[in-house]
Amino acid sequence: MFNPRLTETLTDFPFARLNALIAPIAPPAHLSMINMSVGEPQGAMPAFARQIVNDEIDGWNRYPPNQGLPDLNLAIVEWLSRRYRLPAGLLDPAQHVIPTAGSKEGVYIISTVATPQQKAGAKPIVALPNPFYQAYLGGAVLSGAEPLLVNANADNGFLPDFLGLDEATWKRMSVVYLCSPANPQGAIASIDYLQKLLAKCREHDAVLAVDECYAEIYTREPPPGALEAALAMDTTGGKDPFKNLAVFHSLSKRSNAAGLRSGFMAGDPRLVAMTLRWRTYGGPQIPFAVQKASAALWREETHPLQTREWYQKNFRVAEQILHNRFSYYTPGGGFFLWLDVGDGEEATRKLWREAHVKVLPGAYVCRETDGINTAERYIRVALVHDEQTTREGMTRLAQVL
């Protein structure tokens, strides 16, 4: 009675596997639990956005528009133009953007939108980085495509070599997922990398789906974006500079507003239109109050500075405590540490047993390729707590491992 793609291909979610791994272990009761496995910001959402949600109580008796409130779409376009130095008027709020229930909904939908039944006479391929955000795999599998995991490890700077795939594979390609800054390694794709990959996708009529949900969490320079990379390729002044491109953003990281479930997709108007059709038939509608609060959050630029400082303090703490252990590096973006501890599962058990610290084995966000899980040596550590809690967690980790 069940869809075999769901039961046979999509295994237990990483956090379910983590809970099963540590379930038999009794942590030390005298130590408070520090959960560093989550990817959920622990800072507060700005008070002005909370007030907007409270004030919009009358909107809860109406269905909101699937295409987004015009003011929200305008706020998104204004933010994209500021952030990525796009010419005013280039993006049309009605054609180039669509709000989504977080970036998660968007990256899941895009495979269904862009994957045909067949391509080059065979099953289409959706390529994704390995390790990966689980929604990419869910979208690929449930769209009926063949998922192709391309390793992103230290040897290639934690950026997958999609261009190294053979032509037979590219002919079947429907979607290529990229996360920049990457989850979990924090690697940032350059303008050159983005342009070469987009050009290859266009050559084979595939969609480049770039998850930029960590774009506002960076430790040095603002990461470049795929929209600005695409525009720089357009030397003819054509009407379609974002052809075959979709980018995804979210307020969960920029604004500590994970519970709003508010994000957007932007790019190729054809993809935006088909995503709207998909959502009209079955996607969630974003409440009026959430949309209005979201518009305010995209327009206000003080709180992201405070958010970045929160994470930058945590990285300074981690660097002070870990020094050069576990191949430590401060990532360019995101809020994770990607630590080489030799055996990720064993380190996870040990930290829970001796330190009451919860982390995520790297192997749980990665799959085997050629019989090897390239992330099995790693743990993912989320630096999402306040500075004091982060210091305590890092101290316990360093003492135990």
SS (H, E, C) the chain: CCCHHHHHHCCCCHHHHHHHHHCCCCCCCCCCCEECCCCCCCCCCCHHHHHHHHHCHHHHHCCCCCCCCHHHHHHHHHHHHHHCCCCCCCCCCCCCEEEECHHHHHHHHHHHHHCCCCECCECCEEEEEECCCHHHHHHHHHCCCEEEEEECCHHHCCCCCHHHCCHHHHHCEEEEEEECCCCCCCCCCCHHHHHHHHHHHHHCCCEEEEECCCCCCECCCCCCCHHHHHHHHCCCCCCCCCCCEEEEEEHHHHCCCHHHCCEEEEECHHHHHHHHHHHHHHCCCCCHHHHHHHHHHHHCCCHHHHHHHHHHHHHHHHHHHHCCHHHCCCCCECCEEEEECCCHHHHHHHHHHHHCEECEEHHHHCCCECCECCCCCEEEEECCCCHHHHHHHHHHHHHHC
| Average pLDDT in the chain | 94
The arithmetic mean of pLDDT across residues 255-284, rounded, is 92
Q: Can you name the CATH fold of 61-299?
A: Aspartate Aminotransferase; domain 2 (3.40.640)
So what's the pLDDT on residue 12?
74
pTM of the complete model beyond 0.75: yes
For residue range 361-376, list pLDDT tens digits in order.
999 999 999 899 999 9
So what's the pLDDT on residue 161?
97
Q: How do the domains of the chain map onto residue ranges?
A: 4-44+303-400, 61-299
For residue range 323-371, list pLDDT tens digits in order.
889 999 999 999 999 999 999 999 999 999 999 999 999 999 999 998 9
For residue range 141-186, list pLDDT tens digits in order.
999 999 999 999 999 999 999 999 999 999 999 999 999 999 999 9
CATH of domain 4-44+303-400: 3.90.1150.10
So what's the pLDDT on residue 3?
82
% of the chain at pLDDT higher than 70: 99
According to the per-residue pLDDT averaged within each range, which of 4-8, 87-91, 395-399 is highest?
395-399
Q: For residue 236, what pLDDT band results from cuts at 50, 70 and 90? A: low
Q: Residue 219 above 60 pLDDT? A: yes
